Amino acid sequence: MTSPSEPQRPIKVLIAKPGLDGHDRGAKVLARGLRDEGFEVVYTGLRQTPEMVVSAALQEDVDVVGLSILSGAHMTLLPKICAGLRERGMDDVLVTAGGIIPDVDVPALKEAGVSAVFGPGTTIREVAEYIRGNVRRSN
Amino acid sequence: MSALSAGEGSLAERAREGDRRALARLLTEVENRTAAGEAAMRELYPKAGGAHLVGVTGAPGSGKSTLVAALIGEARQGGRPVAVIAIDPSSPITGGAILGDRVRMQIHAGDSDVFIRSMASRGHAGGLAASTVAAAAVMDAAGFPLIFIETVGTGQSEVEVAAIADTTVVVQSPEMGDEVQAIKAGLLEVADIVVVNKSDRPGADRAASQLRAMLTVGAQHDRAMGDRPRPKRPEVLLGSALTGAGVPELLAALDRRDDARRKRGTESLDSAALKRAEAQISGILAQRVSDQLRQPSRAGERSATLRAVAAHEIDPFTAADRLLALLGERGDG
């Protein structure tokens, strides 16, 4: 049992897979890894539209949205998600992305509101530490 | 806190006006047991009490989330807003959790009258999180007439949900085992409705008839038991969350129970409401006592008492009495 002392407020992360590819191994491994890092991880599964991701992030009141995408549609879908989050008043939510995203696209994604892009080879520890260091809500 | 105070009105007021973002923030405050969450509860609790709280419990993989998703779809056909609290276990080692029940319910993500919230159990045993009842009250006050509370995947004895829900649904797989499983004490005793899910699979009919036979066998005995506490005699329904078979019948059975509950009215508080009140108050009392004992002014005596019990110098009953007496001595430190 965990000690029932001071209220623990784990960082809450939504892991979502927008786009039509079915490669969810990475998202699942990351979800599992962040669980082991002490995060509360909401997993939404495959083939999420930007609206589904935004609505899940809103209802779950997450601190972080982690998006995994390998379909190549990142330049369309990720900015839509960032804009949707802003529209619904969630500009304090940290957005990160992972999957297969060419380096040349990264500046535009950052411009759109994605804080960090993690490519293949990133360790779970790196992602966890980035989140801990950059999460905007004071937990 | 700036984001919290943005906009007009308190979070509670905005949540009641249909602001889903405010509702979500408020649920976080309640879940984290903050002062803001407690203040909101004081405001909202008198406005709650109208919703039908349906507990959905059963073993991991029995199909609880998929069944809830199907029930949401059915309720939405009639235009009713639906809220869901889905609880998954927290790691006892790291405190982390995978909240995966949403995966089955994401088909409803685009519907603004469906509100799904995942909660980690955060060390609370019994299949729920400590603040589940409070979260349900917030959703109730925010205008959701039907609230599903999906427990963690349970074993045989995580029956807490029955103490806080108006109606308890136990979901079983066809592969539940033989008749002896059906007469064991625990989960099946607290069910109002047992759903043999996955009725598209072989063996489901047989499982349902075995359950019916064994769960209703005591009906005559019930009369002989008079006023003594006795297990419920649940309805046994067959259903398939996958094909949708049996789902309208299940929602109809839930609505019948809700009608009966409403007819009983508030002047004769039914036992579900009383049990829920008791569960909430004892949870808060325990938290208050624990918070008081953790105040810095009591740290010395508290840790000395813990050590004395750990070293078997005093027994835990004496220790508890000593700490309780300590609470009486001084006010808030």
Chain segment B59-102, per-residue pLDDT in tens: 888 999 999 999 999 999 999 999 999 999 999 999 999 999 99
Summarize pLDDT for B137-174 with one digit per residue, the tens.
999 999 999 999 999 988 777 788 988 899 999 999 88
pLDDT per residue as tens digits for the range B99-127:
999 999 999 988 999 999 999 999 888 88
C-alpha B42: how far from chain center? 20
In the structure, what pLDDT confidence band is assigned to residue B294 with cuts at 50, 70 and 90? confident
Q: Which residues fall within 8 angstroms of residue B118, CB to CB, at 6 or more apart? A: A42, A60, B86, B87, B88, B99, B101, B102
Q: Can you tell me the ipTM of this complex?
A: 0.90
pLDDT at B267: 57
Q: How far is B321 from B309, CA to CA, in rounded Å?
A: 13
Q: Give the residue from B1, B4, B28 with the most A CB atoms within 10 Å of its CB, the best one to mutate.
A: B28
Measured between alpha carbons, how far is B109 from A28 in angstroms, rounded to an integer? 20
Name which of B106, B63, B86, B54 is nearest B152 in CA terms: B86
Q: Report how far residue A130's alpha carbon sits from residue A127's, in angstroms, rounded to the nearest whole number.
A: 5
Chain A: give the shortest CA distance to residue B197, in Å.
Answer: 23
Task: State the residue for tokens 């996955």.
Answer: B198
The predicted structure's pLDDT at residue A1: 34
Residues paired with B57 in a beta bridge: B170
pLDDT at residue A83 greater than cutoff 60: yes
At A67, which helix (H) or strand (E)? Answer: strand A64-69
Q: What is the pLDDT of residue A19?
A: 85
Which amino acid is located at A42 in the chain? V
In this prediction, residue B2 carries a pLDDT of 39
For the residues of B161-175, what is the DSSP string, one character each? Answer: HHHH-SEEEEEE-TT
Average pLDDT, integer, range B14-18: 95
pTM of the model: 0.89
User: With 60 as the cut, is the pLDDT of residue A139 above it?
Assistant: no
pLDDT per position as a tens digit, A55-74: 999 999 999 999 999 988 99
Beta-bridge partner residues of B97: A40, B90
Please, what is the average pLDDT of chain A? Answer: 90
**Residue of higher predicted confidence among B331 and B21:** B21
The C-alpha atoms of residue A22 and residue A28 are separated, in whole angstroms, by: 12
Our CA-based measurement puts residue A46 at a distance from the nearest CA of chain B, in whole angstroms, of 8
> A104: distance to nearest CA of chain B, Å?
32
Count Cβ atoms below 10 Å from residue A70 Cβ, excluding itself.
21
pLDDT tier at B238, thresholds 50, 70, 90:
very high
Q: How many CB pairs under 8 A join A and B?
A: 103
Mutate to test the interface with B, among A40, A64, A90, A138 (most CBs of B within 10 A): A40
Among candidates B7, B124, B175, B151, which has minimal Cα distance to B67? B151
Q: Which domains does chain B have, with CATH numbers?
A: 1-45 (no CATH), 48-268 (3.40.50.300), 281-329 (no CATH)
Q: Is B193 a residue whose pLDDT tops 60?
A: yes
Both tokens assigned to A22: 């079915």
Instruction: State residue B3's pLDDT score.
Output: 44
When pLDDT is cut at 50, 70 and 90, the band that residue A8 belongs to is low
**What confidence tier does B266 reach under pLDDT thresholds 50, 70, 90?**
low
Q: What is the mean pLDDT of residues B19-28?
A: 96
Tokens matching residue B215: 């769960």
Between B232 and B301, the more confident residue is B301
Please tell me the predicted confidence (pLDDT) of residue A45.
Answer: 86
CA-to-CA distance for A17 and A74, rounded, in angstroms? 11
How would you list the strands of the sheet with A64-69, edge to edge? A116-118, A94-99, A64-69, A12-16, A40-43, B97-99
Nearest to B29 by CA among B12, B6, B50: B12
Chain A interface, best mutation among B31, B72, B99, by max A CB count within 10 A: B99
C-beta of residue A65 within 8 angstroms of C-beta of residue A94:
yes
Distance from chain centroid for Cα B18:
23
Q: pLDDT confidence of A7, banded at 50, 70, 90? A: very low
CATH number of A12-133: 3.40.50.280
Residues of A in contact with B90 (CB under 8 A): 2, 10, 40
- In chain A, where the domains are located: 12-133
A9, A34, A56: residue with CB nearest B109: A56
How far apart are the CA of B216 and the nearest CA of chain A, in angstroms?
38
Inter-residue contact B113 to B92 (CB < 8 Å): no
Question: CB–CB of A67/A18 below 8 Å?
Answer: yes
Rounded to the nearest 5°, which phi and psi values hold at B3? -65, -30
Percent of chain B at pLDDT > 90 equals 56
